[in-house]
Chains A and B, each alone.
Chain A
Amino acid sequence: MDKETALFMYKKMVQIRKFEEKLYQLFLTRPMPGSMHQYNGEEAVAVGVCAHLNKDDYVTSTHRGHGHCIAKGVEINGVMAEMFAKKTGCCKGMGGSMHIADFSVGMLGAIGIVGAGIPIAAGAGWTCKYRGKGQVSVAFFGDGAANEGAFHEGINLAAVWKLPVIFVCENNVYGFSTHYRRTMAIENIADRAAGYGIPGMVVDGMDVKEVYAESGKAVERARKGGGPTLLECKTYRFMGHSRFEKSAYRTKEELEEWKKRDPIKLFEEFLLKDMKLKRQELDEIGADVDREIEESVSFSERSPDPEPDDYKKYIFA
């Protein structure tokens, strides 16, 4: 990994973390519309995968989509303004946290229905294959989503049509309150790949280097016509399932254990020790991101609300 890529990924991860931290604070300190599902702790997954993607590659996302958006290159102003339900939000205040999308960078949208993005990503992969220009599509989804019928049908279709799709399962241990061991009788969701005749891989989702390396192989295989891959990234969410959810179903010790492997901390150690970067360089990136996030908040505050009947414009094309 070259320094440029490393710094690019570091910055993206910091953007996601600081974006989420800012949002949490906003929800605590003022009335914010709707709810949210936060991505803190899982940054390495979205960033490691999306670092291989071009603007014209596609991504489908989930209810926990802020990280995927930022990793895919959606402007932070647009994401923040959507959280504020403003006219300048990337979905014009129509979708909010669970439906952020920006087609100009191939972000096909966060989706509020668990699992629904999996077959949609297969469809985007079909377009990629049909066009024959080497584009790929990526579906991000959770461990919980892997038990939806849409998972089975979507991956099977992509496998049998040999579509250029990377199915990225973010196994963050819980689907809402329910531990994956209580919802599936296997340890690794990646093992299911065998049932579809595609490669499956377990990846350390807290280590962005490993996510980057393994997803790189999958993306390359897809671009070359080798068909889909199922990547299972073992990760953990540091926040509650949604907004202020308190997570009584898991222990503090478990959370603290995972926090020791905070993906940003891990990557910082690598950058400082192995890549010999200076602390100051990283701090400057952090400060830049802070400014960018603050600016996105004031951009959102300055932005107008939608008109009450704006929705009428979007029912039909």
Chain B
Amino acid sequence: MEAKKIVDALRQALIEEMERDENIVLLGEDIAVFGGGYRVTEGLLDMFGEERVKDTPISEIAITGAAIGAAMTGLRPVLEIQFNDFLACAMDQVCNQAAKVRFMLGGQVKIPLVIRAPVGATGRAAQHSQSLEAWFMHTPGLKVVFPSTPYDAKGLLKTAIRDDNPVMFFEHKLLYGAASPGGKAKTAVDDLNEAFKPAPEEDYTIPFGIADIKKSGNDVTVVATGFMVHRCIKAAQKLGEEGIDVEVIDPRTLVPLDKTTIIRSVEKTGRIVIVSEDVLTCGVASEISAVVAENALFYLDAPVKRVSVPDTPIPFAPVMEQAVLPQEEQIIQEIKSVVYRGI
């Protein structure tokens, strides 16, 4: 059956890959018996048994380190970290070990490891709401993937699993379409449009480093990641009614980053707004801004605009959380601000 939700697309990718290659093993907190905080691994324990689908102690250092050690010696682990915030507990293993071992050892070893982790703010305050993609963009040796649709999620996860390098694979909580740990489903998938493309039940991969133009347009380039892709598509539709033709690009992988598609688009539109849910300083949008400034400055008719979370932890109260996250109306205003500047 085609997967209409990211949770199902990811599960399909895991199942198909595990059937293909018996070296693929899964580990993480509450992934086996419980089926995962966001239900991605539901049913996999029954299908593949406890040697391949392992619940772990709450020990992020140990499970990340063990995944690396297993990857160095022939297995292909897919590790789930329950919330991306907890990657902070495993930072040495990820950034000093996984990212660097092959390099330091002169290429003797490969580390075919995928670390999956949910990102995004859903009312759970500062330690459970971050979007930490940029931390890992800043560490050479890691690939960084962030899909926004079921179609992309499946194809990219398969590519990640087949990759011989450590891949950080981020999943947005509001796009799973499944309940968060213990909760009722807090989800945005019910009112997304056809851009939330389902994943067919077939074997396909999506290469890293190829952005996807989610909506083409001529007046302004919008680059967005994760959930923000869908906010931007909605904003683009509204702006379309006002005669502003927005192009929405989803890089899909942040490392490697498809600079060409972004630069070509800016050459066409002369304007760029970058929308992401991580914090502004040294963030996803900062990096993309720099790429545009270095490569397409003379095509620009307006300053580059970044729309991200201001430099703050995510506050708990909904009024404040909403205030720091990029909202559709804000995105519309920011896009207008660069469009009008050139006219």
Closest to A239 in B: B182
In the A-B complex, the 3 residue pairs with the smallest Cβ-Cβ separation, listed nearest first, are A245-B182, A177-B34, A93-B317
Q: Which residues of A contact B86 (CB under 8 A)?
A: 113-114
4 further A-B contacts with Cβ under 8 Å, apart from A112-B85, A176-B58, are A99-B316, A147-B57, A176-B30, A311-B324
Q: Which residues of B contact A34 (CB under 8 A)?
A: 123-125, 316
Q: Is A95 an interface residue (CB 8 A)?
A: yes
Q: Is B318 an interface residue (CB 8 A)?
A: yes
Q: Is B127 an interface residue (CB 8 A)?
A: yes
**How far is it, in angstroms, between the C-alpha of A312 and the C-alpha of B324 when the chains are bound?**
10
Q: Is B193 an interface residue (CB 8 A)?
A: no
Q: Is A295 an interface residue (CB 8 A)?
A: no
Query: A144 to B183, Cβ gap below 8 A?
Result: no
- Interface-lining segment among B167-175, B266-274, B298-306, B307-315: B307-315
**How far is it, in angstroms, between the C-alpha of A240 and the C-alpha of B180 when the chains are bound?**
14
Q: Is A261 an interface residue (CB 8 A)?
A: no
**How far is it, in angstroms, between the C-alpha of A149 and the C-alpha of B57 when the chains are bound?**
11
Q: Which residues of A contact B312 (CB under 8 A)?
A: 311-312, 315
Using a CB-CB cutoff of 8 Å, which residues 260-317 of chain A contact chain B? 305-312, 315
17 contacts between A and B (CB under 8 A): A35-B183, A94-B126, A95-B125, A96-B124, A98-B125, A98-B128, A99-B126, A112-B125, A144-B58, A148-B58, A148-B59, A149-B59, A149-B62, A175-B57, A241-B181, A307-B319, A311-B320
Closest to A82 in B: B316
Q: Is A131 an interface residue (CB 8 A)?
A: no
Per-residue B-contact encoding for A177-210, CB less than 8 Å = 1, 0 else: 1100011100000000000000000000000000
Q: Which of B85, B89, B127, B315 contacts A149 (CB 8 A)?
A: B89
Q: Is A41 an interface residue (CB 8 A)?
A: no
**How far is it, in angstroms, between the C-alpha of A246 and the C-alpha of B313 when the chains are bound?**
31
**How far is it, in angstroms, between the C-alpha of A150 and the C-alpha of B225 when the chains are bound?**
33
Query: B124 to A35, Cβ gap below 8 A?
Result: yes
Q: Is A122 an interface residue (CB 8 A)?
A: no
Say yes or no: A178-B181 contact (C-beta < 8 A), given A35-B123, A99-B125, A310-B320.
Answer: no
Interface of A is mostly: loop
What is the minimal beta-carbon distance from B279 to any residue of chain A, in angstroms?
Answer: 11
Using a CB-CB cutoff of 8 Å, which residues 224-261 of chain B contact chain A? none
Interface contacts (Cβ under 8 Å), in number, total: 145
Q: Which of B34, B57, B60, B123 has the most CB of A within 10 A?
A: B57
**How far is it, in angstroms, between the C-alpha of A10 and the C-alpha of B182 when the chains are bound?**
30
Per-residue A-contact encoding for B47-64, CB less than 8 Å = 1, 0 else: 000000001111111100
Q: Which residues of A contact B58 (CB under 8 A)?
A: 114-115, 144-145, 147-148, 175-176, 183
Binding site for A on B (CB under 8 A): 29-30, 33-34, 55-62, 85-86, 88-89, 123-128, 180-184, 311-313, 315-320, 322-324
Say yes or no: A245-B181 contact (C-beta < 8 A), given A96-B125, A183-B58.
Answer: yes
Q: Is A8 an interface residue (CB 8 A)?
A: no
Query: B29 to A241, Cβ gap below 8 A?
Result: no
What is the minimal beta-carbon distance from A205 to any residue of chain B, in angstroms?
Answer: 19
Q: Is A132 an interface residue (CB 8 A)?
A: no
Q: Which residues of B contact A94 (CB under 8 A)?
A: 125-126, 315-317, 320
Q: Is A161 an interface residue (CB 8 A)?
A: no
Q: Which residues of A contact B125 (CB under 8 A)?
A: 34, 94-96, 98-99, 112
**How far is it, in angstroms, between the C-alpha of A55 and the C-alpha of B85 when the chains are bound?**
32
**How far is it, in angstroms, between the C-alpha of A145 and the C-alpha of B89 when the chains are bound?**
12
What is the minimal beta-carbon distance from B115 to any residue of chain A, in angstroms?
Answer: 17
Q: Which of B85, B89, B322 contacts A148 (CB 8 A)?
A: B89
Q: Which residues of B contact A91 (CB under 8 A)?
A: 316
What is the minimal beta-carbon distance from B59 to any residue of chain A, in angstroms?
Answer: 5
**How far is it, in angstroms, between the C-alpha of A93 and the C-alpha of B123 when the chains are bound?**
11
Closest to A247 in B: B182
Q: Which residues of B contact A242 (CB under 8 A)?
A: 181-183
Closest to A144 in B: B58
Query: B317 to A315, Cβ gap below 8 A?
Result: no
Say yes or no: A315-B324 contact (C-beta < 8 A), given A183-B56, A245-B182, A249-B33.
Answer: no
Say yes or no: A315-B313 contact (C-beta < 8 A), given A34-B124, A178-B30.
Answer: yes
**How far is it, in angstroms, between the C-alpha of A114 and the C-alpha of B29 when the chains are bound?**
12
Query: A178 to B55, Cβ gap below 8 A?
Result: yes
Query: A183 to B57, Cβ gap below 8 A?
Result: yes
Q: Is A225 an interface residue (CB 8 A)?
A: no
Q: Which of B61, B127, B323 contacts A309 (CB 8 A)?
A: B323
**How far is it, in angstroms, between the C-alpha of A119 and the C-alpha of B320 when the chains are bound?**
30
Q: Is A136 an interface residue (CB 8 A)?
A: no
Q: Which residues of A contact B126 (CB under 8 A)?
A: 94-95, 99, 112
Query: B61 to A33, Cβ gap below 8 A?
Result: no
Say yes or no: A113-B127 contact (C-beta < 8 A), given A95-B316, A148-B58, A243-B182.
Answer: yes
Query: A176 to B128, Cβ gap below 8 A?
Result: no
Closest to B127 in A: A112
**How far is it, in angstroms, between the C-alpha of A246 and the C-alpha of B324 when the chains are bound?**
33
Closest to B311 in A: A315
